[in-house]
Amino acid sequence: MSFVLIVGSGRVGSIVARDLLAAGHEVSVLDGDPLSHERLDAGQESTWEGAGGRFTIGQAIERDALVEAGIERADVFIAATNGDNTNLTIAQIAQKMFNVPRVLVRVMDPARAEWYGSQGMEIICPTSYAVTMFETALGLPGADG
Amino acid sequence: MYAVVIGGGKVGLNLTRELLAKGTEVTLIEGRRERYLRMDAELGFVVQYGDGTELWVLERAGIQRADLVVAVTGDDEDNILICQIARDKYQVERVISRVNNPRNRQYFELLDIRPAFSATDLILKLIEHEVPDYGLVHLLDLPEQRLEVIEIVVCEGCRADGLEVQQLELPEGSIVISVLRGGSGFVPKAETVINAGDEVLVCLDPSLEAQITALFEAAK
């Protein structure tokens, strides 16, 4: 079991959070918008906290908020806010300031994703996946590569 | 010299004007359409429209041949990314960044983005200098050389009050370089007596600052 800190409880972050919790991990979510908490509860039998999850309201870039959300003992850090630059910045904070062993970053822009990937960061780029899937569906040559 | 400035707010726009006046080649990148159009009327081809954190926008501005990149957007994460990309991907020799929220300064330092300037810190420094009761003023900081010069007020009843300079027993790596008294300054001798109300300038290793200030602060 790992302790996973997810920053950004949007469409992606909230579902990954729920799935990780269901798989038996300890999960803490940080988001600046209290309403985003509802995403975690929506359609569930128990509340997020009732199911064992943690939720902290705070800005991703605020050191105090990250500490309150448990970054100091996180095994995995997921940066999934809606801002590429915020994600890339907080991911580096998690790596370099808090020595989190595994850091995953969502980056929408393929160019920035490629560059930071080449610098050794573990990047998830939904845009690249979408492009590949469209092109595969259309039978474009080389789309699978 | 070729400079790329990202962010056309008050700082970016005025900086661009000043650099142009000095004969520097400049491109200013602004991502908000309204602002871009307003500046375009004044500056023409100097201003380019686009998100300055997008690589193709930076490349269109010719960042590959830039000698200087100045990131002065209103968003600290954007400024951090711009400087990192300019330095590491495009090998720009000098990057300068604005820090909007002083609390984010630690992240600029963490990621080794310097120099990074914050208006709040600059004004705070001026306040420290202009308001004498503030106690300690940093006159010069050379963090990489591990050297600083501070100006400090000698408080009534502090340990240094009434002692000769040679009796201060300053730690290795620090020296009193001058004393300001009654509106004029002089370089002290070993036997110069330090009095409450004097201001002393000390040159020191930054790690010694707490030890030094303890000598001149009022006893608690």
Local confidence pLDDT in tens for the 220 residues of chain B: 999 999 999 999 999 999 999 999 999 999 999 999 999 999 999 999 999 999 999 999 999 999 999 999 999 999 999 999 999 999 999 999 999 999 999 999 999 998 888 888 888 777 766 665 557 788 888 888 899 999 998 988 899 999 999 999 899 999 999 999 988 999 999 999 999 999 999 999 999 988 898 898 876 5
Note whether residue A54 is domain-resident.
yes
What residues of B are in contact with residue A84 (Cβ under 8 Å)? 53
Give the pLDDT of residue B125: 75
Mutation choice for B interface testing from A59, A85, A125 by most B CBs within 10 A: A85
Residue with tokens 């595994």: A102
Contact B24, B3 (CB under 8 A): yes
Q: Do B103 and A89 touch (CB under 8 A)?
A: no
What residues of B are in contact with residue A8 (Cβ under 8 Å)? none
What's the sign of the alpha-carbon dihedral B116, B118, B121, B124? positive
- Residues B131-216: name the CATH superfamily: Regulator of K+ conductance, C-terminal domain (3.30.70.1450)
Note whether residue A92 is domain-resident.
yes
Q: Do A93 and B103 touch (CB under 8 A)?
A: no
Q: Do B81 and A85 touch (CB under 8 A)?
A: yes
Reading the block at residue B14, the tokens are 């005025």
Query: Residue B145: how many CB atoms within 10 A of its CB?
Result: 9
pLDDT bucket at A141, cuts 50 / 70 / 90: confident
Give the pLDDT of residue B182: 87
Please state the domain extents for chain B: 2-119, 131-216
Fold of B2-119: Rossmann fold (3.40.50)
Give the pLDDT of residue A145: 47
Q: Do B107 and A62 touch (CB under 8 A)?
A: no
Residue A144 has pLDDT above 80, yes or no: no
Give the pLDDT of residue B193: 95
Note whether residue A75 is domain-resident.
yes
Residue A143 has pLDDT above 80, yes or no: no
Establish if A127 touches chain B: CB-CB under 8 angstroms.
no
Establish if B107 touches chain A: CB-CB under 8 angstroms.
yes
Whose CA is closest to A134, among A124, A126, A105, A16? A126
Interface of B with A in 178-207 (CB under 8 A): none
Residue A138 has pLDDT above 70, yes or no: yes
Beta strand B184-186 with B174-181: parallel, antiparallel or unpaired? antiparallel
Note whether residue A68 is domain-resident.
yes
Domain that holds residue A10: 3-106
If one counts the domains in chain A, the total is: 1
B213: left (phi over 0), alpha (psi -120 to 50) or beta: alpha
What digits encode the pLDDT tens for the residues A98-112?
999 999 999 999 999
Note whether residue A34 is domain-resident.
yes
Which domain CATH number covers A99? 3.40.50.720
Q: Which residue has the higher pLDDT, B159 or A88?
A: A88
Please provide the average confidence, as pLDDT, over all residues in chain A. Answer: 94
